[in-house]
Amino acid sequence: MDLPNNTIDRVCRIFGCLESLEERQVDFVSSKDLAQAIGTTNDTIRKDISLLGVTGYTRKGYSVVSLKKELGQTLKLDKKRKACIVGLGRLGTALLDYERFKQDGFEIVAGFDNSINKLERIKTHIDVFAISEMENIIAQKSIELGIITVPANNAQEVADELIKAGVSGILNFSPEKIVVPKEIIYLDMDFTSALRFIAARFITNKLRKSRVA
């Protein structure tokens, strides 16, 4: 399938909205509501959804349950995926126990760090290992996603090892920029860049909110 990147981004956010609407037992949602929630226009939402081949109801909107199901199936967002976290500093350990991931279909099944000290000290029900064991564990547990929370200056090294070990996607929280082969899906979550993006828009303020993260 060939979807615009922005559409993929929005659909992922829409999916999150649908989850919470479902929890609140809302039956229908309009393109306008979704647009407001994720910060875009109703036209765009309708285009996005129609690109995915899902259809709504005149005068009512989209069925929350079935839209969520369709989007989930098409983009395989309903599939459980295993992830690991490399770098068990404060951010890493916070993410290790971020209950939300599991409920959203991402299971953190391993943590890695090089400090024996940290490995011993950490209190969590998730297994933690030395980085040297990464290749084994990732293969053994069929981990698809790697989350990097090491401090800068060895993020690239960690990324290389994750890739060698076989992950298909990487989410990078470290401030260092990482280069990956093009078959690896990579997303940068550098906090400073995010704050700068906001600060820069104080100057060049346009109204759109999209920023394919």
Three-state DSSP state, 207: coil
Region 50-69 residues binding a copy of itself, contact defined as CB under 8 A: none
- Residue 71, class by beta-carbon neighbours within 10 Å (0-12 exposed, 13-18 middle, 19+ buried)? buried
Site string for DNA, 193-212 (x = CB under 7 A): ---------------x-x--
Nearer to DNA, 4 or 89 (CB): 4
Examine residue 125 and tell whether it contacts a copy of itself (CB under 8 A): no
Per this entry, what is the length of the chain?
Answer: 213
Residues 103 and 49: their CA atoms lie apart, in Å, by: 24
Rg (CA), the chain: 19
Region 34-63 residues binding DNA, contact defined as CB under 7 A: 40-44, 46-47, 49-50, 55-62
For the bound state, the minimum distance from the C-beta of residue 140 to a copy of itself, rounded and expressed in Å, comes to 21
- Residue 62, class by beta-carbon neighbours within 10 Å (0-12 exposed, 13-18 middle, 19+ buried)? buried
Identified binder of a copy of itself from the candidate list 32, 41, 157, 185, rule CB under 8 A: 185
Binding site for DNA (CB under 7 A): 4-7, 30-32, 40-44, 46-47, 49-50, 55-62, 208, 210
